[in-house]
Amino acid sequence: MILKNFINFIREQGVVGLAVGFILGGSITKVVSSMVNDLVNPLLGILLGAVGDLSDYYWQVGGAQVMYGRFLAQLIDFLTVALVVFIAVKLLRFDRLDKKKEKKPEETKSDEKK
Protein backbone atom coordinates (compact mmCIF):
# COMPACT_ATOMS: atom_id res chain seq x y z
CA MET A 1 0.00 0.00 0.00
CA ILE A 2 2.77 2.43 0.90
CA LEU A 3 4.70 1.56 -2.26
CA LYS A 4 1.61 2.18 -4.40
CA ASN A 5 1.02 5.56 -2.72
CA PHE A 6 4.68 6.47 -3.19
CA ILE A 7 4.56 5.59 -6.90
CA ASN A 8 1.37 7.61 -7.36
CA PHE A 9 2.98 10.56 -5.57
CA ILE A 10 6.03 10.38 -7.85
CA ARG A 11 3.86 10.23 -10.97
CA GLU A 12 1.44 12.97 -9.91
CA GLN A 13 4.14 15.45 -8.93
CA GLY A 14 6.03 15.15 -12.20
CA VAL A 15 9.19 13.84 -10.57
CA VAL A 16 9.81 11.43 -13.44
CA GLY A 17 9.88 14.24 -15.97
CA LEU A 18 12.21 16.25 -13.80
CA ALA A 19 14.55 13.28 -13.35
CA VAL A 20 14.55 12.57 -17.07
CA GLY A 21 15.42 16.18 -17.76
CA PHE A 22 18.37 16.12 -15.38
CA ILE A 23 19.69 12.78 -16.60
CA LEU A 24 19.38 13.50 -20.30
CA GLY A 25 20.46 17.09 -19.96
CA GLY A 26 23.55 16.19 -17.99
CA SER A 27 24.63 13.31 -20.17
CA ILE A 28 23.94 14.81 -23.56
CA THR A 29 25.11 18.39 -23.08
CA LYS A 30 28.78 17.66 -23.78
CA VAL A 31 28.03 15.74 -26.97
CA VAL A 32 25.67 18.37 -28.34
CA SER A 33 27.99 21.22 -27.33
CA SER A 34 30.83 19.53 -29.17
CA MET A 35 28.65 19.09 -32.24
CA VAL A 36 27.69 22.76 -32.19
CA ASN A 37 31.20 24.07 -31.46
CA ASP A 38 33.11 21.70 -33.75
CA LEU A 39 30.68 21.28 -36.65
CA VAL A 40 27.86 23.83 -36.76
CA ASN A 41 29.73 27.00 -35.79
CA PRO A 42 32.62 26.52 -38.24
CA LEU A 43 30.14 25.78 -41.05
CA LEU A 44 28.17 28.92 -40.19
CA GLY A 45 31.42 30.85 -40.17
CA ILE A 46 32.17 29.63 -43.69
CA LEU A 47 28.64 30.49 -44.84
CA LEU A 48 29.00 33.98 -43.39
CA GLY A 49 32.06 34.51 -45.55
CA ALA A 50 34.97 33.91 -43.23
CA VAL A 51 36.80 30.85 -42.07
CA GLY A 52 36.84 30.50 -38.34
CA ASP A 53 34.73 30.01 -35.30
CA LEU A 54 31.39 31.80 -35.08
CA SER A 55 32.14 32.79 -31.49
CA ASP A 56 35.07 34.92 -32.71
CA TYR A 57 32.80 37.42 -34.48
CA TYR A 58 32.33 40.82 -32.85
CA TRP A 59 31.48 44.44 -33.57
CA GLN A 60 33.92 47.12 -32.52
CA VAL A 61 32.01 50.01 -30.93
CA GLY A 62 34.41 52.64 -29.71
CA GLY A 63 36.69 50.87 -27.26
CA ALA A 64 34.28 48.01 -26.61
CA GLN A 65 33.78 44.73 -28.41
CA VAL A 66 30.21 43.47 -28.79
CA MET A 67 30.71 39.70 -28.91
CA TYR A 68 27.61 38.81 -30.92
CA GLY A 69 29.27 35.67 -32.28
CA ARG A 70 29.78 34.24 -28.81
CA PHE A 71 26.14 34.97 -27.96
CA LEU A 72 24.93 33.31 -31.18
CA ALA A 73 27.13 30.27 -30.48
CA GLN A 74 25.67 29.90 -26.98
CA LEU A 75 22.13 30.39 -28.29
CA ILE A 76 22.63 27.72 -30.96
CA ASP A 77 24.09 25.41 -28.31
CA PHE A 78 21.10 25.92 -26.00
CA LEU A 79 18.51 25.45 -28.74
CA THR A 80 20.24 22.31 -29.99
CA VAL A 81 20.39 20.77 -26.49
CA ALA A 82 16.72 21.63 -25.91
CA LEU A 83 15.73 20.09 -29.24
CA VAL A 84 17.71 16.90 -28.63
CA VAL A 85 16.21 16.45 -25.15
CA PHE A 86 12.70 17.12 -26.51
CA ILE A 87 13.14 14.55 -29.28
CA ALA A 88 14.59 11.99 -26.86
CA VAL A 89 11.68 12.41 -24.43
CA LYS A 90 9.14 12.08 -27.25
CA LEU A 91 10.86 9.07 -28.86
CA LEU A 92 11.27 7.24 -25.56
CA ARG A 93 7.74 8.27 -24.54
CA PHE A 94 8.88 9.53 -21.14
CA ASP A 95 6.23 12.22 -21.39
CA ARG A 96 3.59 9.56 -20.73
CA LEU A 97 5.10 8.50 -17.40
CA ASP A 98 3.85 11.54 -15.55
CA LYS A 99 0.19 11.75 -14.77
CA LYS A 100 -1.61 14.66 -13.26
CA LYS A 101 -4.56 14.30 -10.96
CA GLU A 102 -7.76 14.54 -12.91
CA LYS A 103 -10.19 17.10 -11.56
CA LYS A 104 -13.32 15.70 -10.04
CA PRO A 105 -16.58 16.96 -11.57
CA GLU A 106 -17.34 18.90 -8.35
CA GLU A 107 -14.05 20.82 -8.57
CA THR A 108 -14.69 21.75 -12.19
CA LYS A 109 -18.17 23.09 -11.42
CA SER A 110 -16.98 25.14 -8.44
CA ASP A 111 -14.16 26.60 -10.57
CA GLU A 112 -16.67 27.69 -13.24
CA LYS A 113 -18.80 29.62 -10.71
CA LYS A 114 -15.88 31.84 -9.62
Chain segment 15-49, per-residue pLDDT in tens: 777 777 787 677 777 888 888 888 887 787 788 77
pLDDT at 92: 75
Instruction: Return the CATH fold of 2-99.
Output: 1.10.1200
| End-to-end Cα distance, the chain | 37
pLDDT at position 58, please? 85
Predicted local distance difference test score (pLDDT) of residue 66: 92
* Domain locations in the chain as residue ranges: 2-99
Residue range 82-111: average pLDDT?
A: 67
pLDDT score, position 104: 59
Instruction: Give the whole-angstrom CA distance, residue 88 versus residue 11.
Output: 19
pTM over 0.95: no
Predicted pLDDT of residue 55: 76
